[in-house]
Amino acid sequence: MTPRQARGPLRVAMIGYGFMGAAHSVGWRQAPHVFDLPEDVEMAVLVGRNADAVAQAAAHWGWAESATDWREVIARDDIDIVDIVTPGDSHAEIAIAALDAGKHVLCEKPLANSVEEAEAMAAAAERAARGGAKAMVGFTYRRVPAVTFLRDLIAEGVVGRVQQVRAAYRQDWLVDPEMPLAWRLQKEHAGSGALGDIGAHIIDMTQFVTGETVDAVSGTLETIVKQRPLLGSGSGLTGTAAEGYGDVTVDDAALFTGRLSGGALVSFEATRFATGRKNALTIEVSGDKGALAFDLEDLNSLRFYDRTAPADRQGFTKILVTEAQHPYVAAWWPPGHMLGYEHGFTHQVVDLVAAIHDGTDPHPSFDEGLSVQRVLSAVEASAAKDSSWVRVGADVLEVGR
């Protein structure tokens, strides 16, 4: 694949405008002003179903125009990139249509609501790649500089052979039983609950930083509050509760164990019922030479334990990941000046635009998104079979029959 021949700016259409729409808009807006991008970028169109609401969001976030029909927008010749931030039940239809139209696609995680949908999306990405279209999944935490640096250190061998991983993503926004029944709590829209929404992140992060795959799982799923007040209006976490209650059809908490391709054991926890934890993503990788730990609530640093150091100097030490030598950091502030949650979305734009310009494959690819989807499906299959071990892949379908 030859590098892209410049023919004007890359024009972006974003479909969806909720919480992730705001975050992605920050990324598209910031990246050209902070990084020296190889291509110009324009925030061309924001798409949503409610004409008034999407027009207001477009004006607020800096999109040039708004629209209500994503099919018409994808068909436009002046759109180069389609950014999908809708609920999971529409990912496959939109992404496949955009890729078949020759557009580059950025799709929020998890890639889809089922393995079958994810396989169809990965196949569409493979077809589109022959014509130069790129496809990437929005596992944005990969692009927190400390997480990328953690990956690099493991690849350098500083922890030696990986022997065990502990990964958790804990939130508490569902502890209140009167929290309304939003789309994230309905399987037909979200696919799964805490497992797919935040568990997908720790699965991807584990595979990303170790360079290994999760090959088998044993899991348990729990729906702690089984009915919630119906929303009178809207589809998010706000709105007036209508009379009556509806069933929660996804999990509130997921606990599962995994086995990596290199043999190491992994413990995973994804929950929306960790009282007092707002957005606590942690990962710790233990090896025979040392260990590395990351905590999103202290996202500008890593903890490193060097087992090869003299015994009287051993102990976890803090590495402040704010130096120009660290991933992505040189474009930002002087050493010691912190980055935040939103910067990962800027780095995501940087990497996608660079891949489009260079003609290289962006990561995480749709194939990588599919690999996470297969792990999610294996966990669900295991939970349905009294937490029996399930191999990720073909066995998932057999167990699920």
Are residues 319 and 227 part of one domain?
yes
**Interatomic CA distance for residues 207 and 151, integer angstroms:** 10
How much is the pLDDT for 394?
Answer: 53
Residue 201 lies in a domain: yes
User: Hey, how many other C-beta atoms are within 10 angstroms of the C-beta on 317?
Assistant: 12
Domain span including residue 291: 145-298+300-339+374-383
Last residue of a domain, one of 97, 126, 141: 141
Please give the Cα distance from 250 to 255 (Å, whole number): 14
CB count in 10 Å sphere of residue 290: 21
> What is the Cα gyration radius of the chain?
21
Assign residue 280 the CATH number of its domain.
3.30.360.10
Could you tell me if 21 and 45 lie in one domain?
yes
Residues 85 and 161 placed together within one structural domain of the fold: no
Q: Note the pLDDT of residue 393.
A: 87
Say how far apart CA 367 and CA 126 lie, in whole Å. 9
Where residue 79 sits, what CATH number does that domain have?
Answer: 3.40.50.720
Euclidean distance between CA atoms 224 and 253, whole angstroms:
8
Helix (H), strand (E), coil (C) string for the chain: CCCCCCCCCEEEEEECCCHHHHHHHHHHHHHHHHCCCCCCEEEEEEECCCHHHHHHHHHHHCCCEEECCHHHHHHCCCCCEEEECCCHHHHHHHHHHHHHCCCEEEEECCCCCCHHHHHHHHHHHHHHHCCCCCEEEECHHHHCHHHHHHHHHHHHCCCCCEEEEEEEEECCCCCCCCCCCCHHHCHHHHCCCHHHHHHHHHHHHHHHHHCCCEEEEEEEEECCCCEEEEECCCCCCCCCEEEEEEECCCCCEEEEEEEECCCCEEEEEEECCCCCCCCEEEEEEEECCEEEEEEHHHCCEEEEEECCCCHHHCCCEEEECCCCCCCCHHHCCCCCCCCCCCHHHHHHHHHHHHHHHHCCCCCCCHHHHHHHHHHHHHHHHHHHCCCCCEECCHHHHHHHC
What pLDDT is attached to residue 236? 42
Q: Do residue 118 and residue 228 come from a single domain?
A: no
Residues 48 and 168 in one domain: no
Phi, psi of 46 (to 5 degrees): -110, 130
Q: Is residue 103 part of a domain?
A: yes
| φ, ψ at 324 (rounded to 5°) | -60, -25
User: What pLDDT was estimated at residue 71?
Assistant: 98
Residue 360 lies in a domain: no
Number of domains in the chain: 2
Amino acid in position 285 = V
Q: Do 120 and 177 lie in a common domain? A: no
Is residue 194 domain-shared with residue 130, that is, in the same domain?
Answer: no
The pLDDT value recorded for residue 231 is: 79
Q: Tens place of pLDDT for every residue, the chain, 401 residues?
A: 345 655 799 999 999 999 999 999 999 999 999 999 999 999 999 999 999 999 999 999 999 999 999 999 999 999 999 999 999 999 999 999 999 999 999 999 999 999 999 999 999 999 999 999 999 999 999 999 999 999 999 999 999 999 999 999 999 999 999 999 999 999 999 889 999 999 999 999 999 999 999 999 999 999 999 999 997 644 344 444 456 999 999 999 999 999 999 999 999 999 999 999 999 999 999 999 999 999 999 999 999 999 999 999 999 999 999 999 999 999 999 999 999 999 999 999 999 999 999 999 999 999 999 999 999 999 999 999 999 999 998 544 333 32
363 and 136 in contact (C-beta within 8 Å)?
Answer: yes
Claim to verify: residue 53 and residue 103 sit in the same structural domain: yes
Residue 230 lies in a domain: yes
Measured in residues, the chain has a length of: 401
Show which of 112, 141, 170 is a domain's final residue: 141
Q: Same domain for 172 and 319?
A: yes
List the end-to-end C-alpha distance of the chain, in Å, as a whole number: 42
Could you tell me if 136 and 151 lie in one domain?
no
Alpha carbons 111 and 373: distance in angstroms, whole number: 7
